[in-house]
Amino acid sequence: MFTKAQISQPRVSLEENQAAVAQISQQGRIDSSPSRGATLTNRITRSALISHGITISLIVVALFVFLVTPFMAITWSRQPFPGFVVEHTLVIANINGGGWSGQKAGMNYPQRVISMDGESVSSPAEYASATADLQTGRLINIKTESPDGTLRNYSFIELGKFARMDLVRLFWLPYGIGLVYLILGLWIYRLRGNTRAGRAFADFCASAAIMIALTFDLSTTHAGSALWTAALAVLGSTLVSLGLVFPQELGSTTRRTWLNLLLYSISAALVIWGVLDLKNITDPWAYVRIWRAGYAYAAVGILIFIGMQMLRAFTSPPGLVKQQARIILWGSLVAFLPIGFWFMIPQLIHQDIPWNPVIFLPLLLIFLVSIGLAILRYRLWDIDLLIRRTLLYTLLTIILATLYWLSVLAFGFLLRDITNSNRLATILAIPIIAILAEPIHRQLQNAIDRRFYRQKYDAEKTLEEFIAGLRTDVNLLSLSDRLQAMVQETLQPEDVSLWLYTPRKKE
**Mean pLDDT across the chain:** 75
Work out the average pLDDT over 28-50: 53
Q: Is 474 helix (H, G, I), strand (E, B) or coil?
A: coil
Q: In whole angstroms, give the CA distance from residue 504 to residue 90.
A: 93
Q: In whole angstroms, give the CA distance from residue 384 to residue 296.
A: 36
Residue 463 pLDDT exceeds 60: yes
Q: Which of 3-7, 347-351, 417-421 is most confident?
A: 347-351
Q: Are 87 and 139 in contact (CB under 8 A)?
A: no
pLDDT recorded at residue 12:
40
Residue 40 pLDDT exceeds 60: no
379-417 tens-digit pLDDT? 455 544 555 555 555 656 666 666 666 666 666 666 555
For the chain, the first-to-last Cα distance in angstroms comes to: 15
183-240 tens-digit pLDDT? 988 988 888 788 888 888 899 999 999 999 999 999 999 999 999 999 999 999 998 9
Residue 37 pLDDT exceeds 80: no
Q: Which of 17-21, 202-206, 411-415, 490-494 is most confident?
A: 202-206
Question: Nearest to residue 167, comparing CAs of 110, 210, 206, 220?
Answer: 220
Residue 496 pairs with which residues in a beta bridge?
A: 7
For 373, list phi and psi in degrees, rounded to 5: -65, -40
**Kind and range of the H or E element at 158?**
strand 151-158
Top-confidence residue, 469 or 285: 285
- What ranges do the domains of the chain cover? 50-70+165-378, 81-161, 385-456, 459-497
pLDDT recorded at residue 489:
63
pLDDT recorded at residue 431:
66
Q: In whole angstroms, give the CA distance from residue 165 to residue 173.
A: 10
Residue 497 pairs with which residues in a beta bridge?
A: 6
Choices 2.60.40.10, 1.10.287.130, 2.30.42.10, 3.30.750.200: CATH for 81-161: 2.30.42.10
Q: In whole angstroms, give the CA distance from residue 291 to residue 17.
A: 45
Q: Are 260 and 199 in contact (CB under 8 A)?
A: no
Q: Which of 55-64, 194-203, 322-331 is most confident?
A: 55-64
pLDDT recorded at residue 437:
63
**Kind and range of the H or E element at 386?**
helix 383-418
pLDDT recorded at residue 455:
46
Q: Where are the alpha helices (DSSP H) in 149-215?
A: 164-167, 173-192, 196-213
Could you please state the CATH topology (level 3) that the domain comprising 50-70+165-378 is classified under.
Rhopdopsin 7-helix transmembrane proteins (1.20.1070)
User: Could you give the percent of the chain with pLDDT greater than 70?
Assistant: 66
Top-confidence residue, 63 or 368: 63
Question: Nearest to residue 445, comparing CAs of 394, 389, 400?
Answer: 400
Residue 492 pLDDT exceeds 70: no
CB atoms within 10 A of CB 51: 19
**Contact residues for 487 (Cβ-Cβ < 8 A; gap 6+):** 7, 493, 496
Q: In whole angstroms, give the CA distance from residue 290 to residue 77.
A: 28
Q: What is the DSSP string of 390-418?
A: HHHHHHHHHHHHHHHHHHHHHHHHHHHHH
**Kind and range of the H or E element at 481?**
helix 476-491
Residue 359 pLDDT exceeds 80: no
CB atoms within 10 A of CB 161: 13
Estimate to the nearest angstrom the gap between the alpha carbon of 297 and the chain centroid. Answer: 21
